Structure 1
Amino acid sequence: MTLSPEAPTAVPDGRHGVRPPRLVAHRGAPRVRRENTMPAVAVAEALGAETIEIDVRRTADGVAVLLHDETLGRMWGDARCVSAVDWCDVARLGNGLDRIPRLDDVLERLDGCRSTLLVDLADASDAMVAARTVAAFRGTTGVAWRGAPEAMSALRSVLPDADVWLAWESLEAPTAADLEELAPSTLDLDIAFLTPCTVEAAHDLGLQVSARTVDDDEPALWAARLGVDAVVTNDVASVRAAYAAAERDGWPDPDREPGETEVASRAQALAHRIAHEVIAFTREHPVGSVTTKANPADLVTDVDRLVEQHVRSRVRTVFPSHGFTGEEYGAAPGDRHRWFLDPVDGTTNLANGVPWTSMSLCLTRGGSPLVGVVADPWRGEVLEARRGRGAMLRDRPLRLDDAPRALAGAVVGTELDGHRPWAGFGAFLDALADRSCTLRVQGSGTLTIAQVAAGRGIGGCVSAFDPIDHGAAVLLVHEAGGVVLTRSGPVDGFPPVGEPFLVAHPGAADELHAVWTAALAAD
């Protein structure tokens, strides 16, 4: 099933008939005690979590222990991989009760308690050790499992009747064929991929639905209204309190929309934070996998996917009912608001070590842009705009004057159409050269357009408008006082999708537009 961005958001009645989902404590109670420790498990159980999720790894001598990371560094200050360290050495880390526990000790701790365990596994070898540990346990603690498909397949070889939660990272709902091998009981969704259609499709297949990781009231209430069966959270107490308040006072009306000013203010603050998070991640995360999409020149990296999943989750946390369209995972349905994201514009540059890429994030309402940010990881810059409120770079307003500008000695930016020149490219290059104006192709359409708003270059053009790639940059140009043009002249909002467009300094817009349209016509 492919989701349509226009699909209706079907939710249960806003005040009646909504049942709070089961609460799954993520890594115990990490906001109270250190994650994946016995105190964290005990606090989660005391807070009333129906299920406690833990991460399990194996030691060098085959002991199943609670640890999320492959190494001991982040939590325990030891850079070694836990799989290379014997249990006796692992047991010495930490102090007091804040130590790495064994899985069998946790099973005994919860024996006879109401809370069950959800064991998260990243590796098939870890799964074998964890499965044997559970198989040898003689108590009554209930255990379910989630993790990578290869880990779940290994688990099944030891525990053929294990209760498996299928981790699902797609906006397309699963089919019966997707479920055949692992026969899961539950579809486990990151909140980035939680949609009404997916919940409905999963229930139709007889699956329960779990949403992760939900720590704030608004997305928790939204997930409940969608009908999810479980919510994974770092903050059991707060989410439980939100559900109790909704049952007592009435569930929020899903049809109530905040005013545009409120939405735009919150969205601008959120987009600003996201942009800085993406800058840090893109700079620090080495490119791992590189694959292709439409052709061998159309690249995608793990950074593209990880950034998009992060941004989707951040937006969903604040605006759960908004629609979202991203470069890598497609369109999710929503209300009149829709976010457009290109996580890495200039992926070919990124994959080849060229430091000229960007992220584009734009919020629209009814098709009109409200907020846009362009993040430049390699210069650490965030260019941002809000409709009617201007454009900014750091604390400096961006404003292009109306003084006439000559093309001679100026720079105009453009991008290839994929990896080929667009129709009219050669004629445009020649016409600019005749006017002593230089044409640049640097590899990120988002930056090519956004730089004009910052006064860097006299203009820029792209062969086909797409709000995913260019929405934020076009808003920046408008709010900075620049001109956005199609073949027929200036436009106030977005250019038509798929149409070539030009942005220009107002003092050079007429001449540059004439040169550009003549080049398009000549070809």
Structure 2
Amino acid sequence: MTTLDRATVGPDRDGRTARTLPRLVARRGAPRVRREDTLPAIAVAEALGADVVEVDVRRTADGVPVLLHDETLGRLWGDPRRVAEVSWCDVARLGNGLDRIPRLDAVLERLDGCRAALLLRVVDPADALVASRTVSASTWGTRVAWAGTPDALAAVRAALPDADTWMPWESLAVPTAADTADLGPSTLVLDDVFLTSDTVAAAHGLGLAVAVRTVDEPEPVRWAARLGADLVATDDVASARAVLAGGERDGWALHDREPGEEEVATRAQALAHRIAHEVIAFTREHPVGQVSSKRAPGDLVTDVDRAVERLVRARVRAAFPTHGFTGEEYGDAPGDRYRWYLDPVDGTTNLVNGLPWTSMSLCLTRGGRPLVGVVADPWRGEVLEARRGRGAVLRDTPLHLDDTPRALAGAIVSAEFGGHGAWVGLGALVEALAERSCAVRVMGSSTLTIAQVAAGRGVGGCVPAFAPVDHGAAVLLVHEAGGVVLTRSGPVDGFPTEGEPFLVAHPGAADELHAVWSAALGSR
């Protein structure tokens, strides 16, 4: 299955089926103890019992393969140049003592005769070719496997037909023989956000091992072991090994007790708050790079959408490994009665065109009932958050919509298109509101359209079809701020039916606005 033997342990203390104890992959050596991708970090990882030591390989200007994760020397070594533009002699002078950038051949020599295998991660095909030549010419007996980007692994396979390759898998869909035919890997490497029991079963059915990365916290380590992962890549080998030893000794239950809903909601609210601020910083700091279409030419997705979703999935997985998750870009991941819904960038067309009106929506539900929701507005730097039965806040200020009557004259009602076209009835709504001297705004983020009503900005917002990914958090915000959520049949508690048109409103304007909106929908 792989260069590594799989270690099967016996039945747990409850007599259940024997399971395979995952092997540990030390990412970049032991970066929490010594500087990453150096000989001391590799020595510590090997001493801590890592089964595989993963290192990153780049080439110097004169074609020497060295250990370095980044394209430049700035982060770790204080030199802003790209390593590919610097000679080996100059690279060798950086650092001090043993904390220096090592050559790949020195690493092969260091691990010769050790139980740990070496996993070489390459992202550039040119780097991969240089590293392949060094491995091919080496007389040391170190076991070597390869991971990295598809293009780099293809270059390795062309240079070393018998190379042990570990193929990246960035999907919740299960792998098939057709997916792996060209590369012929021994192992699938996937982020923990893509690890499911179905993926593990499918990979094993193809004769492939499964390596999950990056897993540092105790609960996700246990969870990966329970799902049958063959290898766990971690920055903290000692802690991960202690968790696995504890699971082998005490059984593999994730908790001594199942936490109650109140405890889960408290932890989830704190987590969602942290995630929202992290997403604000990430979205503001990362310019849009790749842009592509999904279901239609105007249905855009960017590298920022995907990166934010992966970031959020990873944070949730680390804290709540058994929870289900549904995201806009990567779809459904199975889980227990709790499920998170995420739209990483609501308003992608705005983002692509430089219009600062986008948001992130993250909502936790239990059995379909919303518990916690946050909406992050990167461009105002605002986080609106709500917890069922505990109210809604903006910057720690409670949001409260009283029932004082509000006239539509001089007010604003926000609306959103269905996809990229106006829904039948929108024109009639605009005309009816104009007759009442009420303005309509279509801003391009349905999450913010709803959430702004909770914040008291406008008297209403209407969307042609409810989806928990897009609207779950904002609907909870409106409820908890004292607003009204309505479908054509009247107010609803919780979520509207998926796909159903809905309206949110300030309670003082809800009756009149609902009548106008319902009449417009009836004009179809």
TM-score of the two chains, using structure 1 as the length reference: 0.96
Q: CA deviation at 1:126?
A: 0.5
The letter of the residue matching 2:99 is D
The 2-side partners of 1:181 and 1:417 are apart by 41
Report the counterpart of residue 221 of structure 2 in structure 1.
220
| 1:421-440 equivalence runs, <5 A | 421-440=422-441
The letter of the residue matching 2:319 is V
The 2-side partners of 1:443 and 1:306 are apart by 21
The 1-side partners of 2:179 and 2:416 are apart by 40
| 1:231-270 equivalence runs, <5 A | 231-252=232-253, 257-270=258-271
Unaligned runs of 5+ in 2: 1-10
User: Is 2:491 the counterpart of 1:499?
Assistant: no
- Partner of 1:485: helix, strand, or coil? strand
Contact preservation (8 Å) 1:14, 1:251: no
Higher relative contact order (CA 8 A, sep 6+): 1
Report the counterpart of residue 349 of structure 2 in structure 1.
348
Q: CA deviation at 1:417?
A: 1.1
CA deviation string 1:398-434 (max 9, x = no partner): 1111111111111111111111111100000011111
The 2-side partners of 1:464 and 1:255 are apart by 42
Q: CA deviation at 1:254?
A: 7.6
- Partner of 2:21: helix, strand, or coil? coil
Q: CA deviation at 1:39?
A: 1.0
- Partner of 1:522: helix, strand, or coil? coil
- Partner of 1:200: helix, strand, or coil? helix
Contact preservation (8 Å) 2:343, 2:361: yes
The letter of the residue matching 2:50 is A
CA deviation string 1:455-493 (max 9, x = no partner): 111110000000000000000000001000000000001
The 2-side partners of 1:298 and 1:248 are apart by 51
The 1-side partners of 2:500 and 2:202 are apart by 36
From the superposition, tell whether residues 502 and 13 of structure 1 become closer, same or farther in structure 2 (CA, over 3 Å). farther
Q: CA deviation at 1:274?
A: 0.8
From the superposition, tell whether residues 301 and 473 of structure 1 become closer, same or farther in structure 2 (CA, over 3 Å). same
Contact preservation (8 Å) 2:12, 2:250: no
Unaligned runs of 5+ in 1: 1-11
Report the counterpart of residue 154 of structure 1 in structure 2.
155
The 1-side partners of 2:410 and 2:230 are apart by 63
Report the counterpart of residue 195 of structure 2 in structure 1.
194
Report the counterpart of residue 6 of structure 1 in structure 2.
none
Report the counterpart of residue 58 of structure 2 in structure 1.
57
How many pairs are equivalent?
Answer: 512
User: Is 2:297 the counterpart of 1:307?
Assistant: no
Report the counterpart of residue 402 of structure 2 in structure 1.
401
Report the counterpart of residue 490 of structure 1 in structure 2.
491
- Partner of 2:440: helix, strand, or coil? strand
User: Is 2:37 the counterpart of 1:36?
Assistant: yes
| 1:69-84 equivalence runs, <5 A | 69-84=70-85
- What is the root-mean-square deviation in Å for CA atoms of aligned residues? 1.3
Q: CA deviation at 1:511?
A: 0.4
Q: CA deviation at 1:320?
A: 0.8
Q: CA deviation at 1:19?
A: 3.3
CA deviation string 1:209-243 (max 9, x = no partner): 01100000000000001011000000001111111
Q: CA deviation at 1:257?
A: 3.3
CA deviation string 1:109-166 (max 9, x = no partner): 1111111111111010000001111111101110100111111111012211011111
The 1-side partners of 2:291 and 2:72 are apart by 25
Report the counterpart of residue 380 of structure 1 in structure 2.
381
Contact preservation (8 Å) 2:222, 2:254: no
| 1:95-114 equivalence runs, <5 A | 95-114=96-115
The 2-side partners of 1:226 and 1:322 are apart by 14
- Partner of 1:359: helix, strand, or coil? strand
Overall identity of the aligned pairs, in %: 74
Q: CA deviation at 1:18?
A: 3.1
Report the counterpart of residue 358 of structure 1 in structure 2.
359
The 2-side partners of 1:472 and 1:505 are apart by 17
The 1-side partners of 2:241 and 2:257 are apart by 23
The letter of the residue matching 2:453 is V
Structure 1 residue runs of 4+, over 6 Å off? none
